[in-house]
Amino acid sequence: MAGSALHVMLVEDNPADARLVDLALRSGPAWVPIELRHFTRMQPALEVLRQGKTEVLLLDLSLPDDHGAGAVRHALEAAPRTLVLVLTGSSDPSVRRQALEAGARAAVTKHVFAPGELQEVLREMVPWRELGNPAGNSPARGGCPGSRAPCPPPTEPLPPPLDPIALANLRSLAEPGLEQELVRSVASVFYLESELLGPRLKEAIARGDAHDARAAAHAFRSTAAYMGAWELTELADKIERLALGGSLEAISGLLDELDLARARATEQLDQVCPGLLERAPRSGGPSLGA
């Protein structure tokens, strides 16, 4: 097994999130080659998991056809030897606790990973790989390997609009010769989605379309979490839950707060790497709501 690829599966329906994970697995010095397969739905992923060749599963907990701790259980029922690393944008500590209780090896907050950071998390999850031992000789599940992922926010939003660790990672990626284009792309997606969320919510409220309001908030919650924008993450999570309950009038009461939080976050992001981060156009461009 020494030198052979580590077989990793990512189940993530947000294309921007999937791109960031792929980049994180390719950045920094590789301790072992990584073979990544990506699925946007749980059901086709389960068919591949049952083949028994996947060593690590990177799992989002908000999928179109599965969610929460149930997704972890379904994955492990299909592939008991596979180690599950949950990637979550939720700030609710019970989400992590339930995922770990369901059998996940670790739960990491979605964010812009520094070069080599996600690879280090995997290395700590499967240390036997460095010894050339067969896959499946895994340690007991539970616990969480070391990671520089931003800590989930406390009950009150963090004073700075963006998490300091996320900002440090962005600065690192923006160094000349590294991932300047990625930083531009990530920032542009964040700018665009943050600008479009309010108008999209207003349109959904006007139509009485709770489903579209929920979809918009869900997609942006993941984007905000990756950027370490905890205040926006909390608001998007609250809006998603209100939309799920059909409380469109309550969502209307949060739109001004959403605009203020967006302005604070984008202003700080502008200051992180002046001259590097480019705003996306107000129309067109990438979308995370697809």
- Kindly report, residue by residue over 227-243, the tens digit of the pLDDT: 888 889 889 989 999 99
Calpha distance 127→129 (Å, rounded):
5
Contact of 61 with 86, CB cutoff 8 Å = yes
Q: How confident is the model at residue 140 (pLDDT cuts 50, 70, 90)?
A: very low
What are the two backbone dihedrals, phi and then psi, of residue 276, each rounded to the nearest 5 degrees? Answer: -100, -40
Model confidence at 123: pLDDT above 90: no
- Structural domains present in the chain: 6-131 (3.40.50.2300), 164-272 (1.20.120)
Total Cβ atoms within 10 A of residue 268: 14
**Helix or strand run (H / E) with residue 117:** helix 117-125
| Global confidence as pTM | 0.64
Q: How confident is the model at residue 284 (pLDDT cuts 50, 70, 90)?
A: very low
Model confidence at 225: pLDDT above 90: no
Closest to 251 measured CA to CA, from 289, 288, 200: 200
Q: What is the pLDDT of residues 109-120, one digit of tens each?
A: 887 777 788 888
User: What percent of the chain is modeled with pLDDT above 90?
Assistant: 34
177: left (phi over 0), alpha (psi -120 to 50) or beta: left
What is the residue-averaged pLDDT of the chain?
79
Q: How confident is the model at residue 273 (pLDDT cuts 50, 70, 90)?
A: low
Closest to 32 measured CA to CA, from 122, 107, 114, 112: 122
User: What percent of the chain is modeled with pLDDT above 70?
Assistant: 77
For residues 34 and 171, the model is more confident at 34
Closest to 247 measured CA to CA, from 205, 194, 289, 196: 205
Contact of 6 with 33, CB cutoff 8 Å = yes
Q: How confident is the model at residue 142 (pLDDT cuts 50, 70, 90)?
A: very low
* Average pLDDT for 187-198: 83
Q: What is the pLDDT of residues 62-110, one digit of tens each?
A: 898 998 999 999 999 999 999 999 998 776 788 889 999 999 999 988 8
Model confidence at 226: pLDDT above 50: yes
Angle of helix 117-125 versus helix 15-26 axis, rounded to 10:
80
Calpha distance 265→121 (Å, rounded):
28
Closest to 86 measured CA to CA, from 12, 148, 31, 16: 12
